[in-house]
């Protein structure tokens, strides 16, 4: 089935959903986006995603022509039109079409795109057995150059790291920040477990503050698993008892090997499994 895509509130068949080649989203990566999930017809953490989208837009001085509430309604409308209950949702706001120069003021209208579709980021075996990752030599964007908190259409930094991961036969790659500390993966946040405690890098390590990351922290509190946002280095990951990644597309996925070091027992650990089960229950039961 060909899903309908919403562009500025108008619906187009996927094949006909097009924007201008003069759009600065294409020409310069000038725009922002969100990736979120619907489970049983309900968008998980919609408000948090919309808040992050509008904050990303504010950070690049991009006025989104509709309110967050209207954006939320458009998301649900697009899901309904496509009869999708369980879906991946991609929101994109571009600067709009302009002239062949950087000046954003010469762009006409921001384009608001809502794509609803299915996603299968990693094969089921990875969820069962855990995944292997490697550290990329490409460091995460320096926050003073381009804040990783902005979910912008400029993903080259992460794509370069992803290429390194793929070249090493891995689906994900670990990115360090300019200080050599653990930041995050190319499209996922990272957690480790050590002696029953959960650790994840703080936002000022230069990461995207993941909505799934925050949901897992919330879950850990509920399950009375101690959780600490702490600066981590690769050594901490190598000697961890467990490691897992979080993301809207990935959900919670165990990591059992990092840079050829087996993590813990080399299988998804008990705390990872508990959190993963609790996360599934939460998204499916509300």
**Residue from the set 31, 110, 143, 187 that interacts with ligand PMP by CB under 6 A:** 187
| Least distance between ligand PMP and beta carbon 81 (Å) | 24
Separation CA 276–CA 192 (nearest Å): 14
Q: Is 14 a catalytic residue?
A: no
189 in contact with ligand PMP (CB under 6 A): yes
| Tokens at 179, concatenated | 């200080």
With binding defined as CB under 6 A, does residue 213 bind ligand PMP? yes
Active-site annotation holder among 14, 18, 45, 151: 151
Based on CB atoms, which residue is closest to ligand PMP, 3 or 33?
33
Residue at token pair 């994109």: 92
Q: By rule CB under 6 A, what count of residues binds ligand PMP?
A: 15
Candidate residues 35, 96, 201, 269; the one interacting with ligand PMP per rule CB under 6 A: 35
Q: For residues 34 and 242, which CB has a smaller minimum distance to ligand PMP in the complex? A: 34
User: Is 164 one of the binding residues for ligand PMP (CB under 6 A)?
Assistant: no
165 part of the interface to ligand PMP, by CB under 6 A: no
Q: Examine residue 210 and tell whether it contacts ligand PMP (CB under 6 A).
A: yes
Query: Minimum CB separation from ligand PMP for residue 215, in Å?
Result: 8
For ligand PMP, which residue of 141, 248, 256, 272 counts as binding (CB under 6 A)?
Answer: 248
CB of 107 to ligand PMP, least distance (A): 24
**Binding flag, residue 97, ligand PMP (CB under 6 A):** no
Position 132 contacts ligand PMP (CB under 6 A): no
Q: Any contact of residue 82 with ligand PMP (CB under 6 A)?
A: no
**Where on the chain is the footprint of ligand PMP (CB under 6 A)?**
35, 158, 184, 187-189, 208, 210-213, 246-249
Active site residues: 151
């Amino acid at each position: 089935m060909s899903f309908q895509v919403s562009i500025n509130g108008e619906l187009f068949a996927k094949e006909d959903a097009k924007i201008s080649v003069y759009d600065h989203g294409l020409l310069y990566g000038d725009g922002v986006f969100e990736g979120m999930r619907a489970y049983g017809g309900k968008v998980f953490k919609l408000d948090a995603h919309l808040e992050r989208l509008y904050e990303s837009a504010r950070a690049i001085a991009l006025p989104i022509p509709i309110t967050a509430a209207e954006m939320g309604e458009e998301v649900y409308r697009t899901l309904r039109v496509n009869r999708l209950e369980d879906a991946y949702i991609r929101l994109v706001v571009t600067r709009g079409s302009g002239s062949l120069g950087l000046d954003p003021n010469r762009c006409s209208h921001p384009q608001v795109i809502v794509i609803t579709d299915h996603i299968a980021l990693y094969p089921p075996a990875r969820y069962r057995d855990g995944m292997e990752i490697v550290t990329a030599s490409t460091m995460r964007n320096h926050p003073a150059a381009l804040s990783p908190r902005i979910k912008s259409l400029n993903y080259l930094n992460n794509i370069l790291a992803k290429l390194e991961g793929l070249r090493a036969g891995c689906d994900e790659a670990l990115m360090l920040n300019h200080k050599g500390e653990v930041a995050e993966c190319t499209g996922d946040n990272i957690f480790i477990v050590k002696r029953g405690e959960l650790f994840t890098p703080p936002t000022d390590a230069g990461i995207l503050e993941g909505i799934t990351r925050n949901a897992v922290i919330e879950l850990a509190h509920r399950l009375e698993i101690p959780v600490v946002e702490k600066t981590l280095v690769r050594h901490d990951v190598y000697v961890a008892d467990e490691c897992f990644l979080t993301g809207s597309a990935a959900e919670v996925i165990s990591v059992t090997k990092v840079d050829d070091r087996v993590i813990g027992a080399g299988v998804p650990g008990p705390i990872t499994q508990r959190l993963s089960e609790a996360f599934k229950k939460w998204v499916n039961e509300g």
